[in-house]
Amino acid sequence: MRILVAVLAFLVAAPLPAQQVRATRILVDKSEHAMYVFSGEQRVATYPAGFGANRTGHKQQEGDRRTPEGKYVLDYKNAGSAFYRSIHVSYPNDADRAAAKRRGVPPSSAIMVHGQPNDPAMAQRVRDYPSPDWTDGCIALSNADMAALWEMVRVPVPIEISP
C-alpha cells in the first residue's frame, strides 16, 4: 500500500510534459523583451519576445508600428499565417476604438503573437534587422517558442501587455 501511495504521490507531483501544460494567462513585458506563460499560478514558460519597431508606448493607430499595452485575449489561432503560426490578440478593445475615433484614425486590428516570417527573403531582412523589435506591432517569438506556445494555448486565453 505504501508503494502505491508513493507512486501516486510521485505521479501527482511530476511536471506534465510541455504538450500537456495549458496556459491560463500570459504576461508580456515589453521593457524586458519577455513573454511569461502561466498555468494557474505557476509560471511554466518564459520566452524572449520582439515587438513593434516603435516599441515605446501604447498602439495609437494603424501603421504606428507600436505594440498595444493593456489587457486583451488571445482569441483565435491561424496556422496559415505569413509567419510561423500566429495567435490573434483581441486589440482593439472598446477603449482603443474610442480613442482612435476621437483622433480620426483607424486603430488597427491584425495584432498577433507569431513566429518568424515564412518568406525566406523577409526572414533574412528580420535576421539583419538591428533590433529584436521589427514587427508592425505584433509580438514575435522564435519558431521553436511559437510551436511550444501554440501547444499550450487553447483559446481564449487572457494576455496582458505591459510597458
Structure confidence at residue 55 as a pLDDT band (50, 70, 90): confident
Per residue in 125-152, pLDDT tens? 999 999 999 999 999 999 999 999 999 9
Give the pLDDT confidence score for residue 2 in this predicted structure.
Answer: 45
Which listed CATH number (1.20.1530.20, 2.40.30.110, 2.40.440.10, 3.40.50.2300) goes with 23-162?
A: 2.40.440.10
**How far is 114 from 76, CA to CA, in rounded Å?**
12
Amino acid sitting at position 77: K
**How far is 105 from 81, CA to CA, in rounded Å?**
26
Q: Cβ of 109: how many Cβ atoms within 10 Å? A: 13
Task: Quote the pTM value.
Answer: 0.86
Structure confidence at residue 12 as a pLDDT band (50, 70, 90): very low
For residues 47 and 57, the model is more confident at 47
Supply the mean pLDDT for the chain: 89
User: What is the average pLDDT across 105-114?
Assistant: 93
Residue ranges of domains in the chain: 23-162
User: What is the average pLDDT across 51-73?
Assistant: 93
Short-list 14, 134, 157, CA closest to 83: 134
